[in-house]
């Protein structure tokens, strides 16, 4: 599994893709990431900004934290 990219890298990649100056596939290739990865980041950005339904990044992090706490408590 490749290393996670920093949030600033992700934010800038999404900005570039939204400008539509190049095809998403080309932008992803130029950045050294998979096209599906960039599309997933764009979808998550839509959720985070309220343009789409789903769990925001903060909500997802809280869910992960609560599940971890529950596992520990059950042990």
Looking up residue 60, the CATH number of its domain turns out to be: 1.10.10
Distance CA 10, CA 6 (A): 7
| pLDDT score, position 11 | 96
Classify residue 15: in a domain, yes or no.
Answer: yes
3-state secondary structure 16-66: HHHHCCCCHHHHHHHHCCCHHHHHHHHHHHHHHCCCCCCCCHHHHHHHHHH
Classify residue 64: in a domain, yes or no.
Answer: yes
| pLDDT score, position 74 | 96
Classify residue 63: in a domain, yes or no.
Answer: yes
Domain hosting residue 63, numbered range: 7-74
Classify residue 66: in a domain, yes or no.
Answer: yes
| pLDDT score, position 4 | 87
Classify residue 2: in a domain, yes or no.
Answer: no
Classify residue 1: in a domain, yes or no.
Answer: no
Which pTM was predicted? Answer: 0.83
DSSP label at residue 17: H
Across 21-45, average pLDDT:
97
């Amino acid at each position: 599994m490749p290393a996670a990219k920093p949030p600033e890298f992700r934010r800038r990649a999404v900005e570039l893709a939204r400008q539509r100056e190049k095809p998403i596939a080309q932008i992803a290739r130029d950045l050294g990431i998979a096209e599906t990865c960039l599309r997933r980041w764009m979808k998550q950005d839509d959720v985070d900004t309220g343009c789409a339904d789903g769990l925001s990044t903060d909500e997802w992090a809280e869910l992960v934290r609560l599940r971890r706490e529950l596992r520990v408590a059950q042990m």
